[in-house]
Structure 1
């Protein structure tokens, strides 16, 4: 990596920060911000719109959710692809054990837990619920809020299978597919097909991502951000919606990628970076927490009426719930690991896998020891 400052014409304060540290921090900040936006979106459409429509909970917060649609998942998948680019160059065995299998395992485990939870609530109410049918159908066609985890495994699988094809062909096919799903109704597959384009751009063009994050400055980022805001503001008036949506998302993502490295080291953003290091855990747990919150609000109509009658309570509810969901997700993961349930988050390793991991760690430790002895 070059040692020069990551921006052109950067301020002395920014140059004083470590470029390597800034580049290491921005992906966590990006993923943390997108996960917060995803949870906020699910809260909006799974709880607030059905239960508190027309109150301050939707009047003030729904525009934010809607305005960030062109950025939310495209940015998440671009960064996920960018972080997977190096793994794509390794063997199939490494790709399966490092990217595909762990995410597929996490999806299946938490899909089963979600299905069991829904069946339990239905049984408590004396209703029938086909949990097995839901589980089987979601294995091959994810329609629920866990689809992001399914998509990460599937995207890497497709990217690995098409690795030897030219970049222009794979990215072009992904772009055509993304345009097609805007024109043809493919149901729940729309988000998955559209999400593959930013992922494959990230995994195929990490140099372009680095150029945006390292070779631009505040002026470029703010100018592009202004253009992104303008496009989002007139998005319903843009011609050729299927194409303009892709262009709008690309501008939004590029603007944010230019700006994130400039603020990633800010201490105030440390909690968001921490969220970015726990994305899969929050993806797995937040649907259950929203289900539990919905159940509580429906079973306590007086609480719901009190919130609806108070603009301040309705305004604060989405913010408080978002923070609670994130904190509880991370806390529950720690608690489950402490009581021996770590395998609901990570695949059990076979003895041969554990041996390879130990050998790899031992080799790295030996290299560090040798380097230390040589330097001394």
Structure 2
């Protein structure tokens, strides 16, 4: 299994998010709770959070693109419950992913333009373009799979330029690095306030957001917040307590409930505010995972290899959906009853494992160019 290179204080985290190394020299370092001047390290809480985020990404796609498409005839509303549960993580998943990406990008954007342009901007755009072509080809064999795909040359050109596809995390990272680098040493408020306003406007539906443009507009502020507020984020995670975990989880649950009861998802500023609460909870929970080292280590291991999962899981899911939709829909109520509750979890695990197996196979045939810009030993992603 290919692992992402160990990040240092001079490297960003990644989609993008964040993620794989093609050739590796990996040194194990003791994870510290906070930054240690003069000593490079990679905080395990960040990788563990990325591991959770990629699981949530795959789980959400499994639920909406496969699970809810099945003809369940069991007489109980379990499928709808899974859909509702998945929706509760929408303010958390990508905002947390991009916040961590921004934290790890803080020093990278200080490098010269030529370095940032090739290693980050060109690297992510290259991966986006390569995997967009692969997705387009594979998804053409599954026309009934409910996901965005280009069906013409014009549609493909649009996805390559102004309306990113399901791979929008990679596209976003290239754009966000460009913005962060161009901002230079501008006062943080001069950068964060417009980004926050853009997020609020997009979330309120005041902008045209076809495809995945909404995510592109809404998450810039979280990447920039990670970049500008890195010391505060590191302090927050280093000082996380059980009391703070209880308070932030309660605040997140209360914010979700209030937003749902009031129907305020489209109110100006509400969605970004709920996402801020969600990120505070996510950072706290990730930091508290260190109390369960076995779980934390496994999630961190997954968090270091999110790129292959991110780029491969959708075609894998499309193929599995085509194979499973008919047989599962045709089961009798007893058979479906045995599957309905655990099906999303089981299929999520299968999709992740198959995605990593595909990656290993591709690397075995020397297709390293699928995971890194040619001429670079690795791709550093932030998510």
Q: Does TM, scored on the shorter chain, surpass 0.5?
A: yes
CA displacement, residues 166-195 of structure 1 (integer Å, 9 cap, x when unaligned) = 100110000111111133142232111001
Corresponding residue for residue 19 of structure 1: 33
Displacement, 1:20? 5.7
- 2-side partners of 1:176 and 1:17: how far apart? 36
1:211-250 correspondence runs (5 A): 211-238=235-262, 241-250=267-276
Q: Pick the aligned partner of 2:354 from 299, 304, 328.
A: 328
Higher RCO structure, 1 or 2 (CA under 8 Å, sep 6+): 2
Count of residue correspondences: 329
- 1-side partners of 2:71 and 2:222: how far apart? 34
TM-aligned CA distance change 1:17 to 1:336, over 3 Å: closer
The question of 1:310 aligning with 2:336 is answered yes
The answer (yes or no) to whether the contact 2:139–2:315 under 8 Å persists in 1 is no
The answer (yes or no) to whether the contact 2:32–2:43 under 8 Å persists in 1 is no
The answer (yes or no) to whether the contact 1:275–1:326 under 8 Å persists in 2 is no
Corresponding residue for residue 268 of structure 1: 295
- 2-side partners of 1:212 and 1:30: how far apart? 14
The farther-off stretch of 153-162 and 132-141 is 132-141
Displacement, 1:68? 0.9
Corresponding residue for residue 187 of structure 1: 209
Corresponding residue for residue 24 of structure 2: none
TM-aligned CA distance change 1:57 to 1:277, over 3 Å: farther
Displacement, 1:52? 4.0
TM-aligned CA distance change 1:182 to 1:60, over 3 Å: closer
Bigger Rg, which one: 1
Root mean square deviation of aligned Cα: 2.6
Corresponding residue for residue 177 of structure 2: 156
TM-aligned CA distance change 1:54 to 1:195, over 3 Å: farther
Displacement, 1:110? 0.6
TM-aligned CA distance change 1:237 to 1:61, over 3 Å: closer
The answer (yes or no) to whether the contact 2:34–2:238 under 8 Å persists in 1 is no
- 2-side partners of 1:57 and 1:328: how far apart? 26
TM-score normalised per structure 1: 0.80
- 2-side partners of 1:292 and 1:169: how far apart? 46
TM-aligned CA distance change 1:284 to 1:302, over 3 Å: closer
The farther-off stretch of 246-255 and 230-239 is 230-239
TM-aligned CA distance change 1:259 to 1:317, over 3 Å: closer
1:105-116 correspondence runs (5 A): 105-116=126-137
The answer (yes or no) to whether the contact 1:71–1:249 under 8 Å persists in 2 is yes
The answer (yes or no) to whether the contact 1:39–1:286 under 8 Å persists in 2 is yes
- 2-side partners of 1:42 and 1:296: how far apart? 16
Corresponding residue for residue 76 of structure 1: 97
- 2-side partners of 1:54 and 1:171: how far apart? 49
1:352-371 correspondence runs (5 A): none
Displacement, 1:17? 8.6
The farther-off stretch of 219-228 and 193-202 is 219-228
Corresponding residue for residue 58 of structure 2: 39
- 2-side partners of 1:94 and 1:220: how far apart? 39
Which structure: greater helix fraction? 1
Displacement, 1:255? 2.1
Corresponding residue for residue 257 of structure 1: 283
- 2-side partners of 1:138 and 1:54: how far apart? 37
The answer (yes or no) to whether the contact 1:48–1:57 under 8 Å persists in 2 is no
Corresponding residue for residue 229 of structure 2: 205
The question of 1:284 aligning with 2:311 is answered yes
- 1-side partners of 2:289 and 2:368: how far apart? 34
The question of 1:146 aligning with 2:206 is answered no
Unaligned runs of 5+ residues in structure 2 are: 1-29, 36-40, 144-149, 379-383
